[in-house]
Chains A and B, each alone.
Chain A
Amino acid sequence: MATIVKVFAAGAAGLALGLAASGAILARDPPFGVVAIGPWRAAAKAGSTDADPYTRAALERSGEIPLALGEGLKLVARVDSDGRPLDRRCVYKIGPHTPTARYWTLSLVDRDGFPVEDAAGRYGFRSSEILREGDGGFVIYVSALAHSGNWLPIGHVQDFALALRLYDTPLAASAGGIDKSTAPTIVREGCA
Chain B
Amino acid sequence: MNLGARFGGAGLFVAATIAVAALVHLCVVLVIPAVASRDAYARLAELGPVGATTPLPRAAPGERRFPWDDPALAGSFCRFDLSNGPLRVKAPVGRAGFASLSFHTRHGAVFYALTDRAATHGKMEAVIATAAQLRVIVAHDDEDDPSQDLRVASPTSDGFVVMRAFSELPSLFAAATEEAQTLNCAIEPLPQ
Residues on A close to B: CB < 8 A? 6-7, 9-11, 13-15, 17-19, 21-22, 25-26, 47-49, 51, 53-54, 56-57, 59-71, 74, 102-103, 105, 107, 109, 112-117, 123-124, 126, 128-129, 155, 163, 165, 167-168
Residues on B close to A: CB < 8 A? 9, 13, 16-25, 27-30, 32-33, 36, 38-40, 42-43, 56, 59-72, 77, 97-98, 100, 102, 104-105, 107-115, 117, 155, 162, 164, 166-170
- Are A47 and B29 in touch, CB under 8 angstroms? no
Least CB distance from A30 to B in Å reads 11
- Are A13 and B17 in touch, CB under 8 angstroms? yes
> With A and B bound together, what is the CA distance between A7 and B56 in angstroms?
51
Least CB distance from B96 to A in Å reads 9
Question: What are 12 sample pairs from A and B whose C-beta atoms fall under 8 A apart?
Answer: A14-B17, A14-B18, A14-B20, A19-B28, A48-B110, A53-B30, A60-B36, A109-B68, A114-B64, A129-B169, A163-B70, A165-B70
> With A and B bound together, what is the CA distance between A160 and B43 in angstroms?
24
Main secondary structure of the interface of B (DSSP, over half): mixed
Least CB distance from B78 to A in Å reads 13
Main secondary structure of the interface of A (DSSP, over half): mixed
With A14-B23, A49-B105, A65-B104 as known contacts, state yes or no: A117 contacts B166, CB within 8 Å. no
- Starting from the known contacts A26-B29, A128-B168, 16 additional A-B residue pairs (CB-CB under 8 Å) come to A7-B16, A15-B20, A17-B18, A49-B110, A60-B36, A61-B32, A62-B67, A64-B108, A65-B162, A68-B113, A103-B168, A112-B67, A115-B61, A129-B168, A167-B98, A168-B117
